[in-house]
Structure 1
């Protein structure tokens, strides 16, 4: 079975089953296992001197280990489909984002509680608009690194490719922070994660671009907004989705009680996001997912044609 056809079935499997609680309440999710390994390495090796060198060595070990495990799993028939489906987190992303809309429709506090599950900023004092914007930003960013990037690296490198990406992405989320503890030890993981997400983030931007004459988008303005973002990659999907919805994203927010005056993405858009725009964002993500599914099917037919 070709890599593209395997991807087609994996995308379909994820869309149907998502992350079944009955399974992951009994077994550790692969991402959890990756996190445990990285957490152990952080405790064991992030001490004393030469932290940047240790971080580079850790990254190399993680890449080799995850790639080797991916190659072993790929040798077992059909297990590569199941594993890829597990590592592509589209349906669970939609469920988490929609939960914010459902919460807001019930009460502001329920919305805050739901959005706190998917963002790292302070949520206690958010108004309804800030909650909605945070959910939409999370949808854009996580569609890039939770769906498009895994799909891209699976097409490039098969199961070893997606395993390496998920391991590096997990390492970045755990130790890739500019804090005194992790600035050196997590430096290599953070920089390599930026590199692995460079192309997928821009592909996500293209998938989320608004279509139609009245919604024509100047790519220069998207690039300008993306360059203002604190992340070298997250600004691209945010800039596209904000324009598709006609709202402004990013902007001021608080982390650990401190206000951070981030620039607005799509500054001319509406600052007051509403619940229905969360649902619109989810619809947009499903449309982009459909393009990925169709692309995988076209590539599988093309591969079969070339081999015929």
Structure 2
């Protein structure tokens, strides 16, 4: 029948449509954004699993409670994604592809990341204070003691790390498990951002309650982070550097150091987070041209990852499709 498209073709087209929507329109409004809804759900659950600062707590039960709450939320959002995906399977091929592309788009955010990092360079051209204020939108660290080089290094580090978190990893998990896979990754990454703290945040102690959220995000980000590093070298026209693993180990995160180290090595720049890590210490201090180069390289990674994910889809590697 003319209505019957091979599901791999539907899903491959959905990947490309999601990136096209991101390029054209960026993020949907907050009231319509499913990740904002995940944040509200996480805030609701978090108020019930993390004790207020200073309250006594037992690590074991608190860890278990945090894990159960994470799993409850993950089950709810993934079940919803699976039911939607199943309902779409009876639609015409074009309609399926468009609907899936629209639903996948909020799980990734390349245009917003690109624009925010580019805005740091534009703000630095005005003044150091403007640059600091702009980069504060991207990072949680104290930026007001940073010099111009420090502001630029913070922006480039965030660009590399979030290239994985905001684009490559969601597409990877969509390739592995369809829409539920992308939704699960976005739930995990959002939970880590809200719960994955060793200490007090927003008046609540996450030392034990956020342990599972942090570990789950580490696990789900493990292989996409390493793929992102390889894609960064390829996009920069360089062979993978044998020193990358050593650079990656310099960061506290088991995953963030891979794309950050790859970007530093590929562009031959030094990336510092004072008191935490120094990546590619023999590299140049990045300048304005390096920000432009990093954005070009990362843009190629996004295009390459989209084609790779579409290729996996075309070969039928979609475990979650009914």
The answer to whether the aligner puts 1:186 opposite 2:194 as a matched pair is no
SS at match of 1:177: coil
The answer to whether the aligner puts 1:149 opposite 2:154 as a matched pair is no
Matched residues in 2 for 1:131 and 1:186: separation? Answer: 29
TM-score (norm: length of structure 2): 0.84
Match of 2:120 in 1: 100
Residue 210 of structure 1 and its aligned partner are, at CA, apart by 5.8
Residue of 244, 252, 256 corresponding to 1:230: 252
Match of 1:267 in 2: 281
Match of 1:291 in 2: 304
Given that 1:73 and 1:79 are in contact with CA atoms closer than 8 Å, whether structure 2 keeps it comes out as no
The answer to whether the aligner puts 1:197 opposite 2:221 as a matched pair is yes
The answer to whether the aligner puts 1:8 opposite 2:16 as a matched pair is yes
TM-score (norm: length of structure 1): 0.88
Matched residues in 2 for 1:210 and 1:247: separation? Answer: 17
1:145-165 CA distance string (max 9 Å, x none): 111100000011111111111
Given that 1:119 and 1:138 are in contact with CA atoms closer than 8 Å, whether structure 2 keeps it comes out as yes
Matched residues in 2 for 1:296 and 1:233: separation? Answer: 20
Given that 1:210 and 1:244 are in contact with CA atoms closer than 8 Å, whether structure 2 keeps it comes out as no
Matched residues in 2 for 1:116 and 1:296: separation? Answer: 32
Match of 2:39 in 1: 35
RMSD (Å) for aligned C-alpha atoms = 2.0
Match of 1:116 in 2: 136
Given that 2:236 and 2:267 are in contact with CA atoms closer than 8 Å, whether structure 1 keeps it comes out as no
Residue 286 of structure 1 and its aligned partner are, at CA, apart by 0.6
Matched residues in 2 for 1:159 and 1:31: separation? Answer: 14
SS at match of 1:228: coil
SS at match of 1:209: helix
Higher alpha-carbon deviation: 7-16 or 95-104 = 7-16
Given that 1:45 and 1:54 are in contact with CA atoms closer than 8 Å, whether structure 2 keeps it comes out as yes
Q: Against the structure 1 CA distance between its residues 86 and 211, is the aligned structure 2 distance closer, same or farther, given a 3 Å change threshold?
A: closer
Q: Against the structure 1 CA distance between its residues 235 and 282, is the aligned structure 2 distance closer, same or farther, given a 3 Å change threshold?
A: same
SS at match of 2:249: helix
SS at match of 1:264: strand
Q: Which runs of 5+ in 1 are unaligned?
A: 253-260
Residue 108 of structure 1 and its aligned partner are, at CA, apart by 1.2
Match of 1:278 in 2: 291
Higher alpha-carbon deviation: 66-75 or 137-146 = 66-75
1:205-261 CA distance string (max 9 Å, x none): 001116789x55432x11011112110000000111011211111341xxxxxxxx2
SS at match of 1:117: coil
Matched residues in 1 for 2:23 and 2:217: separation? Answer: 26
Match of 1:257 in 2: none
Matched residues in 1 for 2:125 and 2:117: separation? Answer: 13
The answer to whether the aligner puts 1:174 opposite 2:194 as a matched pair is yes
Q: Against the structure 1 CA distance between its residues 291 and 239, is the aligned structure 2 distance closer, same or farther, given a 3 Å change threshold?
A: same
**Count of aligned pairs between the two proteins:** 289
Matched residues in 2 for 1:296 and 1:210: separation? Answer: 16
Given that 1:248 and 1:268 are in contact with CA atoms closer than 8 Å, whether structure 2 keeps it comes out as yes
Match of 1:248 in 2: 270
